[in-house]
Amino acid sequence: MNKKLSLGWFATSRGTTSLKIFNYIYDSINSGELNAEIKFVFVNRELKEQENSDIFINTVSLYRIPIFNLSSLKFLPELKKSNIELWRNEFDKKVYEMIKNFEVDIVMLAGYMLVLSQFLCERFTFINLHPALPWGPKGTWQEVINKVIKEKHKYHGVMMHIVTENVDRGPVLTYCIFEIKEYDFDKIRQEGIRYELPLVKKTLKLISEKKLEILDKKVFYNKNFLENGLEIPKEELV
């Protein structure tokens, strides 16, 4: 068997999806379906700041995975108001001090609501789930769906990509695509949700099997350079 894929994990857990993704991957690892291990978890919330993040932190703690917290709400608030780029760099330096001794292959962002600094992106390889196609809208899933409806897109999807300073536009790992049959916000969201968790697992599985590789922030599939990511047919994810 190949060496286990070593993962770090970042979350804010502002909503409930972060914990769903974490539990889904954690269960896939425990069942032996995914040859990986989660070395640490970082949350940019502390206990008693938000209900959902409290649930996330307490759940991860039960799994006996090292968990680190640094509140982005409390960290240098005046600097955050006056110079967000400098604040982001200072915050990420503190985060780095917490996790720098962990050797991980990649760090998964799942419901992490902060933009990463160049400082942190240069020190770890981060990957992210984004609820849009590689050429689709940037932003939160709500912003994405509103734009898809406004611009009358014919297709929508979800993707996994490498995180860079270019928000939601890092090199694409995988994506799946589906046709929009009705411009209904809730229906589009539910269709996307069907594929989000399976796409995360499929991507991590391909990386663990060395079929999908990240080298110098470039993506390769079976040793061939992938310029636009690997399309995963939605039928393989349901």
CATH assignment at residue 84: 3.40.50.170
Q: Are strands 106-109 and 67-69 parallel, antiparallel or unpaired?
A: unpaired
Which of 106, 124, 142 lies at the terminal end of a domain, its last residue? 124
Q: Which tens digit of pLDDT belongs to each residue from 95-109?
A: 999 999 999 999 999
- Looking at the DSSP bridge assignments, the partners of residue 36 are 5
Residues 112, 140, single domain; the answer is no
Which of 124, 153, 178 lies at the terminal end of a domain, its last residue? 124
Three-state SS at 2: coil
What's the DSSP call for residue 193?
Answer: H
Residues 116, 170, single domain; the answer is no
d(CA 226, CA 213): 10
Which of 76, 100, 124 lies at the terminal end of a domain, its last residue? 124
d(CA 56, CA 45): 10
Q: Which tens digit of pLDDT belongs to each residue from 138-190?
A: 888 899 999 999 999 999 999 999 998 777 678 999 999 999 999 999 999 99
**What is the span of the domain harbouring residue 233?**
130-238
d(CA 203, CA 173): 7
Residues 234, 149, single domain; the answer is yes
| CB of 193 closer than 8 Å to CB of 15 | no
Residues 11, 116, single domain; the answer is yes
Q: pLDDT band at residue 111, thresholds of 50, 70 and 90?
A: confident
Joined tokens for residue 121 = 């992106």
The number of domains in the chain is 2
Residues 113, 14, single domain; the answer is yes
pTM: predicted TM-score of the whole model, two decimal places = 0.93
Q: How many CB atoms lie within 10 A of CB 186?
A: 8
